[in-house]
Amino acid sequence: MKAQIIFLILIVVFCSSCSKESTSRLEIIDKNKKAKIDSLLNRYLDLNRFSGVVLISNKKSIIYHESFGLANYETNRPFTDRTAFKVGEVSELITSALVNEMVHKGDFQLSDKVSDYLPEIKGEFTINNLLNHKTDLPSIASIEKQNPDLEYSIVEYANSAKGGPNESEKSELNYNILGLLIEKVSGKGFQENVLDYTERLLLKDTYLQRTDTAQEATGHLYYNYRGNGLELQESSVYDMEMAFSSRGIKSSANDLTKIVHSEPERDVEIEGYLGKDGFSYSVFYQAEDGLAIIVLSNRRHPVAKEISNSIDSIMKGASYKVPLKRDPVDINPELLNNYLGKYRLNKFVNFEVIKENDSLFVLLGPNKVALIPQSENQFYMLDNDASMRFVEDTTNKVNSVVLLNGFIDSEEKAFKIEK
């Protein structure tokens, strides 16, 4: 009997040891992933391409939530769990949710013409056309360019374009018109509708406008605006009337996580940037595994999606790229000869790469810009956040150059002009 008890104790101890070893191994895996994500984001921060908040969650809980940089660089205000960002096109998630709630209540049908409710809108498109960006309404910027004297209003701009049920560019007017529809049918302002929505989802920091902006991130631009090299500058404030229900909502990473998990069967993939306002954002949610990755930045560089893709790869144990440092490296001067020549970006833009005193330069019109090596085939420009990566063809000859503006990769490529 005594031997049996000792044997049982040994089994319990052994199983306990196995459990601890398994738990320890799991913690090491988590720490490794966290270390990789931290390192990735710190690199973007060091390059002044990212400053913000990243949150990763699954169906059960938040598994990563960190901030990098500052919410306001003028006042040295840090980020908090409640910092709200301008989230641009992510506003459409909430506007579409409000529209669908009204459909479920029987306020209107998606097949109804918008003009049935907003007779001042002359287009023949339906509510569903607007939701899916299937009108021929051009962007606000396009209408501004074509009608420089036309004072902005949603109705005036929409009627000047006279959209129909055709697929075209994603115009902000589509969702701004939906904002007017929500106001007209509900009898309440869009701001009040947003607040009702946030109460239903128990959101704390999602809104159109708020008098207390102490928890709001300030957008920043990073460029050579004074001729003294790259510097941070606080960005301007966007036109709320133009942003409205298509681009005007602000939200925090915590709230956005609740929003994407509120419709667990719906995939979400929205990314973009507000260039003049100094914000970049990416909201990614995969219904299959319940993984959500939220990247919010108060930098104008549109790298949030690039960051999100790398984080997704880290979570899956796949390979990913880290941006190169903007630090000069020593390379064999003979390599520079491979990159010399004239290149064509398009039918309007050509440039030439030359060598002087074992250094590379690019001639852009009357300007000669130094190219500083950051790898054997990639070079950065000192006074702007641009780089050039030279690419070889299958015969190991350089035949093109990828133009990078703060990215790891780019589709913007110039091809060498054969002599």
- Could you tell me how far CA 212 lies from the centroid of its own chain? 25
Least trusted range by pLDDT, from 68-72, 219-223, 336-340: 219-223
Mean pLDDT in residue range 274-300: 94
Q: What is the DSSP string of 288-337?
A: TTTEEEEEEESBS---HHHHHHHHHHHHTT-----PPPS------GGGGG
Strands (E), 1-83: 52-57, 62-68
pLDDT of residue 20: 40
> Using 50, 70 and 90 to split pLDDT, how confident is the model at 228?
confident
pLDDT of residue 29: 44
The two tokens of residue 60 are 């059960």
Cβ neighbours of residue 131 under 8 Å, at least 6 residues apart?
96, 99, 110, 174, 178
229: left (phi over 0), alpha (psi -120 to 50) or beta: left
Mean pLDDT in residue range 349-361: 96
> Using 50, 70 and 90 to split pLDDT, how confident is the model at 164?
low
**Sequence ranges of the domains in the chain:** 85-315, 333-416
What's domain 333-416's architecture? Beta Barrel (2.40)
**Cα Rg of the chain, angstroms:** 26
Domain 85-315: which CATH class? alpha beta
β pairing state of 250-251 and 231-234:
unpaired
What percent of the chain is predicted at pLDDT more than 70? 91
Least trusted range by pLDDT, from 1-15, 170-184, 212-226, 364-378: 1-15
Kindly give the residue spans of alpha helices, DSSP state H, lying in 63-124: 91-104
At residue 32, what are phi and psi to the nearest 5 degrees? -65, -45
Query: Residue 110's closest CA among 129, 93, 94?
Result: 129
